[in-house]
Amino acid sequence: MAKMWKSIQKYEGLYKISTEGEIYGERWKHYLKFRKVRRTSKSKFYFRVILSKHDIKTVRFVHHLVLETFIGSRPEGMYALHKNDNQLDNRLENLYWGTSSDNRYDAYTNGRCSAEGQNNGRSLLTEEDVREIKRAKHEESAVELAKRFSVSKWTIYDILNGRNWSHI
């Protein structure tokens, strides 16, 4: 996709933004510098910029500005998502409005949520334990299996009903 520039809504004549996520101050004839900020308590960082109009300063996330300028306003209940899970990659081709479910799907397909099963640091069971639980389900009760593997009977029920460890 060839780089395109458009005026940022509500800041026409002051700022332009490109499909690459660059912001240019028309009045000052220079590219704006972004600040990398932590968005949540997790280690997710995003670029933000301070825009000014009539001496009123507004802090905006760059990925939101790219989507709002080239795609349109954020639909209700939607989030600005990065296809490649790199929150610092604000190219239009990497961004889209999506649901929280879309975000979880992206995280899974991009390997951000690969900590399932025994790779999860909180797991008390191994894959071999789960296979043994599934093999022994007709010979032992859930309570007996729970005692044997030092987990709750609810963990056993969830495994046997496919709510946990469904990949085994």
Query: For each of the chain's 168 residues, which pLDDT tens digit applies?
Result: 789 999 999 999 899 999 999 999 887 777 767 766 655 545 578 899 899 999 999 999 999 999 999 999 999 999 999 998 888 899 999 999 999 888 878 877 776 665 556 555 567 788 899 999 999 999 999 999 999 999 999 999 999 998 888 777
Q: Say what the pLDDT of residue 85 is.
A: 84
How many C-beta neighbours within 10 Å does residue 130 have?
21
Model-level pTM?
0.64
How many C-beta neighbours within 10 Å does residue 107 have?
14
Question: CB-based contacts of 29: which residues, under 8 Å, 6+ apart?
Answer: none
At 126 the three-state DSSP class reads: coil
Q: Say what the pLDDT of residue 36 is.
A: 61
DSSP state of 34: P
* Residue positions counted in the chain: 168
Q: Say what the pLDDT of residue 100 is.
A: 87
Tokens at 158, concatenated: 């969830």
Q: Say what the pLDDT of residue 115 is.
A: 53
DSSP state of 74: P
Question: CB-based contacts of 125: which residues, under 8 Å, 6+ apart?
Answer: 118, 133, 149, 151, 155, 165
